[in-house]
Amino acid sequence: MSRFRPPARAVALAGFMGTGKSAVGRRLAQRLGLAHVETDDLIEAATGHTIPDIFAHEGEPTFRDYEMTAVAEAAQRRGVIISTGGGALLRPENVAALRAAGPVFCLSASSATIYSRTRSSTYRPLLSGPDPQADIEELLALRAPVYAQADCTVVTDDLSPEQVVDRVLDALRGGSRGVFLLDEPVQVPVSVPGAEYRIHVGSGLLDRLGELMPPPRLAGRAAVITSDTLRDPYGERACAALAAAGWEPTLHLVPDGEQAKVMASAEVLCGEMVEAGHDRGSWVFGVGGGVIGDLSGFVAAVFMRGVAFVTVPTTLLAQVDAGVGGKVAVNLPQGKNLVGAFHQPRGVVMDLETLDTLPARQWGEGWAEVIKHAAIADAELLGYLEERLEAVQAGDPQGRQYVGARNCQVKAEVVAQDPLEQGWRAVLNFGHTVGHALELAAADWALGHGEAVALGMIAETRWAERQGLTPFGLAERLACLLERAGLPVQPPPLDWELATEALRADKKLRSGRLALPVLTEAGAVRLEQGVGLPELEQALALCREG
């Protein structure tokens, strides 16, 4: 699967003079709601001289020096369309700066078209000879290799500027490196044995739920499960969107919080579905956070021996973790998720707008899993979070879309390798072994899941550092980022004896040992086999020490 990359800072338009870079750049910026900058304008503003004057009095080499400074400045801006000079790609430093900022498009045209567009201009110092068209042909031949470095070429001979803009936008939507400059949904494919589905990531998708997940030809009954407090903002809207697409939805409510994720709730929901006339052809749609996702998925797994399931996660934690992977479960008094199944969804619909109303604590819960995925699988994502965390938290739409999509992609890649959690999928438990023990030992669920995992990641990494399994400094790096995300890096008062008991009862243990995920470097993980209870208790003790 092609990997989602961080949002581009910019889209650059390069190419020979007269190919339309300025006109296309202005229109493209207007269409995308971005700023437009021309490197020639930056040069003139910095020097106080026009481009022809610089060529006439200082020469082309000096102009290229000025141009390199202007390109570097433009490439550092965010959310811009850059129109470069015709020779900007001649210097490798400019190519590197522009490509680091985002996709580079080359606008091209024939020598005859360029001549017809430029022959009345007095602003072309490189075409001042007696035969301008011959000059054009010679320069085009010399520059062909540098223009070939662009990510995409658009031939502009017979196109209007608006038509060229359409071609550029089509290329962006088709998966070029700047796709996250566009406010459009993206899809993450998930492929596991016996099940293939897509995760839809974007804004405004809840109202398109029936369009994205249309009813099957021979059925159309849908049980929408959500919590009491989500009935008005999301449950009713989900039902309306499904009904508009031809589904026959019924709405089923459960209390808020972890206390709803129990066998009794599943029994009540199954009974309601029978009374509402649901059968083996019905689908279950779970609309809510991780509790709703687990509970509704469990109901779908056991009702009529299994019916189709779609999850619509509405919290960051559910979107990047619980909404992907097909693990569904309910809790017992003795521990979390002790009764469950693997039941892959038919689809996942992530509406990023549902994150706008999240309380600060729930944001933090999700960030723990986001940072976990970056730490174990993607150093580039980890660096992006270290640079842009606050901007994404504040609502940067492209940042949110990238973070959501890339996290789903990381988890989907792991799940595809190990759908039934027989081995490699255990890397997703990074921070969870100590974290679950802390969560259970905190009175009245005083530690949320993400908060406990954050503490667990730090403690387990400190232990791995001391064993020589992880380079020193990674635990502190994680702690700094987690704290910026609003997560605790010191444990609250809790029952440490109870935490030790919970650690000893961890369901991943086999004969008192388990495979513990440890970081080998930022963005890479391996499973340390045969870690026993004494070692796990050492990690727990490191958490207690703070």
DSSP letters of 394-436? TT-HHHHHHHHHHHHHHHHHHHHH-TT-SSGGGGGGTTHHHHH
Residues 195 and 175 in one domain: no
Residues 202 and 275 in one domain: yes
With tokens 């980022």, the residue in question is 481
Residues 157 and 193 in one domain: no
Residues 190 and 173 in one domain: no
With tokens 């700047």, the residue in question is 178
CA distance 304 to 335: 26
What are the tens digits of pLDDT across the range 2-55? 677 777 788 999 998 889 999 999 999 888 878 999 999 999 999 999 998 998
pLDDT over 80 at 254, yes or no: yes
Give me the half-sphere count of Cα atoms (radius 13 Å) on the Cβ side of residue 110: 6
β-pairing, 195-202 vs 186-192, is antiparallel
Which of 103-117, 131-145, 222-236, 513-527 is least confident? 131-145
**Domain with 527 in it:** 415-545
Q: Is residue 4 part of a domain?
A: no
pLDDT of residue 177: 42
Residues 239 and 265 in one domain: yes
CA distance 178 to 184: 12
Q: Is residue 222 part of a domain?
A: yes
Residues 29 and 176 in one domain: yes
Number of domains composing the chain? 3
pLDDT over 80 at 183, yes or no: no
pLDDT of residue 323: 67
Best-predicted range by mean pLDDT (182-186, 241-245, 333-337)? 241-245
Last residue of a domain, one of 163, 181, 199: 181
The whole-chain average pLDDT of the chain stands at 90
CA distance 307 to 314: 22
Percent of the chain with pLDDT over 70: 94
Q: Is residue 1 part of a domain?
A: no
Q: Is residue 274 part of a domain?
A: yes
Closest CA to 413 of 101, 249, 258, 199: 199
CA distance 377 to 179: 22
pLDDT of residue 134: 80
pLDDT of residue 120: 66
Token pair recorded at residue 63: 């102009």
> Bridge partners of 13?
83, 105
pLDDT band, residue 109 (cuts 50/70/90): very high
Token pair recorded at residue 388: 């842009």
pLDDT band, residue 90 (cuts 50/70/90): very high
Residues 133 and 275 in one domain: no
Last residue of a domain, one of 181, 201, 235: 181
Residues 212 and 346 in one domain: yes
Looking up residue 106, the CATH number of its domain turns out to be 3.40.50.300
What pTM did the predictor assign? 0.75
Token pair recorded at residue 339: 């009764």
**Residues 475 and 454: beta-carbon distance below 8 Å:** no
Residues 24 and 121 in one domain: yes
Residues 169 and 304 in one domain: no
Please report which residue ranges of 426-473 form alpha helices under DSSP H. Answer: 432-441, 449-466
pLDDT of residue 8: 74
pLDDT band, residue 279 (cuts 50/70/90): very high
Burial of 394 (0-12, 13-18, 19+ CB in 10 A): exposed
**Residues 385 and 487: beta-carbon distance below 8 Å:** no
Higher-scoring residue by pLDDT: 193, 301: 301
Q: Is residue 363 part of a domain?
A: no
| Cα-only R_g, the chain | 28
Residues in the chain: 546
Q: Is residue 366 part of a domain?
A: no
Q: Is residue 388 part of a domain?
A: no
Which of 216-220, 296-300, 464-468 is least confident? 216-220
**Residues 393 and 363: beta-carbon distance below 8 Å:** yes
Last residue of a domain, one of 340, 358, 376: 358
Token pair recorded at residue 257: 């919080």
Higher-scoring residue by pLDDT: 220, 455: 455
Percent of the chain with pLDDT over 90: 64
Looking up residue 489, the CATH number of its domain turns out to be 1.20.1090.10
Residues 162 and 227 in one domain: no
pLDDT of residue 448: 87
Report the alpha-carbon angle 178-373-330, nearest 5: 125
User: How many helices (DSSP H) and strands (DSSP E) are in the chain?
Assistant: 21, 16
pLDDT of residue 81: 94
Closest CA to 17 of 131, 127, 160: 127
Closest CA to 260 of 329, 334, 358, 359: 329
Q: Is residue 437 part of a domain?
A: yes
Closest CA to 139 of 99, 109, 96, 116: 109
Residues 173 and 198 in one domain: no
Read off φ and ψ for residue 38, nearest 5 degrees. -110, 130
What are the tens digits of pLDDT across the range 404-440? 989 999 998 898 888 777 889 899 999 999 999 999 8
CA dist 53 → 43, 62, 65 (Å): 12, 12, 15
What are the tens digits of pLDDT across the range 118-173? 776 655 555 555 667 787 888 888 889 999 999 889 999 999 999 999 998 888 76
CA dist 77 → 35, 248, 396, 455 (Å): 10, 49, 15, 36
Question: How many CB atoms within 10 Å of residue 296?
Answer: 30
What are the tens digits of pLDDT across the range 380-397? 999 999 988 998 998 888
